[in-house]
A and B are shown apart, each in its own frame.
Chain A
Amino acid sequence: KAGVTQTPRYLIKTRGQQVTLSCSPISGHRSVSWYQQTPGQGLQFLFEYFSETQRNKGNFPGRFSGRQFSNSRSEMNVSTLELGDSALYLCASSLDPPQDTQYFGPGTRLTVL
């Protein structure tokens, strides 16, 4: 069974631009969660989608948004990029229930210059 895939793996953008990251969950998984990982803050929860609906949202500004498609694939978008948005963005999928058994993708490394 293929794992969680994320594209692209690496991305370089400049301040003010926007970016879209993609996540394909494990086949059959309907829940997709997004996390931001930085050396200073660690892993911070962004949002979770289930059946195309945002079910949970972390404490991030409105520049961070996401969506989920009918095939459970998910995208997240960051608009008006800031230097501090440089991070590893991780996607995790899970069956529902149990919500807790989350399987992570390799992440997208975003660098904002």
Chain B
Amino acid sequence: GQQLNQSPQSMFIQEGEDVSMNCTSSSIFNTWLWYKQEPGEGPVLLIALYKAGELTSNGRLTAQFGITRKDSFLNISASIPSDVGIYFCAGQQSGNTPLVFGKGTRLSVIA
């Protein structure tokens, strides 16, 4: 099925560093979402984006909806150990269509 291209696949960073990850698609999406998944749990919604060019923050997390509507970016500033997990992007083409997910970025934070 359709899938988003998410990169990088994994990251090892030092505590305190900033992190960037992105998601691209050949198709246009009208909604972009970012989720975080920790071991043994389901994905938890971090940020939702509904408008091209939109920049939204949630604490140390900032996400942007690309102007072309074919990409999105997530930044985490001043990373801490509890940021460890897998981050997924998801796109939705219209209100009643299913979410399409990227394969995730596995983040490891070294204290």
Whether A100 and B92, one on each chain, are in contact in the complex, defined by CB atoms closer than 8 angstroms, is yes
- Cβ-based interface call for B59 (8 A): no
Which of B1, B43, B50, B104 interacts with A104 by CB under 8 Å? B43
What does DSSP make chain B's interface, helix, strand, loop or mixed? loop
Inter-chain contact A97/B42, CB cutoff 8 Å:
no
Q: Which residues of A contact B1 (CB under 8 A)?
A: 44-45, 58-59
Which residues on the B side are within 8 Å of A104 (C-beta)?
35, 42-44
- Assess the A99–B42 pair: CB atoms within 8 A: no
A92 to chain B: closest residue by CB: B42
Asked if B3 and A42 sit within 8 Å, CB to CB, the answer is: yes
| Structural contact, B101 and A43, CB atoms closer than 8 A | yes
Q: Quick one: which of A1-56 are within 8 Å of B by CB?
A: 4, 33, 35, 42-45, 48, 55-56
Judged by a CB distance under 8 angstroms, whether A64 is at the interface is no
Contact count A vs B, C-beta below 8 Å: 59
Number of interface residues of B (CB under 8 A): 26
Question: Which residue from chain A places its CB closest to the CB of B94 in the assembled complex?
Answer: A99
Q: Within the complex, which residue of B40, B98, B100 is in contact with A33, where a contact is CB–CB below 8 Å? A: B98
- Among B1-41, those with CB < 8 Å from A are 1, 3, 31, 33, 35, 40-41
Q: What are the residues of chain B within 8 A of A92 when measuring CB–CB?
A: 42
Residues B42 and A43 in contact, CB atoms below 8 Å apart = no
Counting chain B CB atoms within 10 Å of each CB, the highest count among A58, A98, A100 belongs to: A100
- Contact pick for A100, options B31, B42, B43, CB 8 Å: B31
| A and B contact pairs by CB, cutoff 8 A, 15 listed | A35-B101, A42-B3, A42-B102, A42-B103, A45-B1, A45-B98, A56-B97, A58-B98, A97-B95, A100-B31, A100-B50, A100-B95, A102-B45, A103-B45, A106-B42
Chain B residues close to A by CB (< 8 Å): 1, 3, 31, 33, 35, 40-45, 48, 50, 88, 90, 92, 95-104
